[in-house]
Chains A and B, each alone.
Chain A
Amino acid sequence: DTAVSQTPKYLVTQMGNDKSIKCEQNLGHDTMYWYKQDSKKFLKIMFSYNNKELIINETVPNRFSPKSPDKAHLNLHINSLELGDSAVYFCASTRTAMNTEAFFGQGTRLTVV
């Protein structure tokens, strides 16, 4: 069983569209994250949720809206997509919000054309 699963793996869309990426973890972890990996491979935190509550929002444009319906799921909705949003988005989870091992999903490669 995949510990952290994201869908879709690839997403190609036009500028201005709205799209969502879904993430689920079956590890029983309390904390989930969205990271963005740019073309230079740099990993940057976007959001963090602990038990469905937002605990980190790292100066991400309002067009990005995370939603956590329960602690096993963290979805990312993006409005009015821009070319600069093209990147690989990774979902991750940790057992707690403290400093423990992070498990990453396989990533969603978003391409905005």
Chain B
Amino acid sequence: QQQVKQSPQSLIVQKGGISIINCAYENTAFDYFPWYQQFPGKGPALLIAIRPDVSEKKEGRFTISFNKSAKQFSLHIMDSQPGDSATYFCAATGSNFNKFYFGSGTKLNVKP
């Protein structure tokens, strides 16, 4: 059973547009929801993370929206740039899990 479901699998956005990636989770015991960015040939790197006590977190052009009742969270990239082209992973974990459950990834391509 996949604990974290991510969509879409791929996304093409024009430069300056908004990129939106969605994730849904199963386990209500999760309490840490990070987003990782991975460039080709590199390891994933933390982009932004949220805990369920807030509904939104913003860092620069990146925003996480969190809906606890729906068990969903999403990443919004404002003013998307070609340099944002990468694969994005959502993840979830909690104090008792000792590991991250990753979504299946979204390959974002920002067209110049």
Query: Which residue of the partner chain, among A43, A45, A48, A104, contacts B45 with CB atoms under 8 Å?
Result: A104
Contacting pair B95 A56 (CB below 8 A): no
Cα–Cα distance between A106 and B94 once the two chains are bound (Å): 25
Q: Which residues of B contact A31 (CB under 8 A)?
A: 98
Cα–Cα distance between A56 and B38 once the two chains are bound (Å): 24
Cα–Cα distance between A105 and B105 once the two chains are bound (Å): 18
Contacting pair A99 B31 (CB below 8 A): yes
Cα–Cα distance between A100 and B42 once the two chains are bound (Å): 20
Q: Which residue of A lies closest to B51 (CB)?
A: A99
B101 to chain A, nearest CB (A): 8
> In the complex where A45-B99, A101-B49, A102-B100 touch, is A4 in contact with B43 (Cβ < 8 A)?
yes
Q: Which B residues are within 8 Å of any A CB, using their own CB?
A: 31-32, 34, 36, 38, 41-46, 49, 87, 89, 93-95, 97-100, 102, 104-105, 107
Residue pairs across A and B with Cβ atoms less than 8 A apart, 7 shown, are: A41-B38, A55-B98, A97-B98, A99-B31, A102-B100, A104-B45, A105-B43
- Apart from A33-B99, A41-B105, what are 15 other A-B pairs with CB-CB below 8 Å? A4-B43, A41-B107, A45-B100, A48-B98, A50-B98, A55-B98, A97-B98, A98-B95, A101-B34, A102-B44, A102-B100, A103-B46, A104-B45, A106-B41, A107-B42
Q: Which A residues are within 8 Å of any B CB, using their own CB?
A: 4, 31, 33, 40-45, 48, 50, 55-56, 58, 90, 92, 97-107
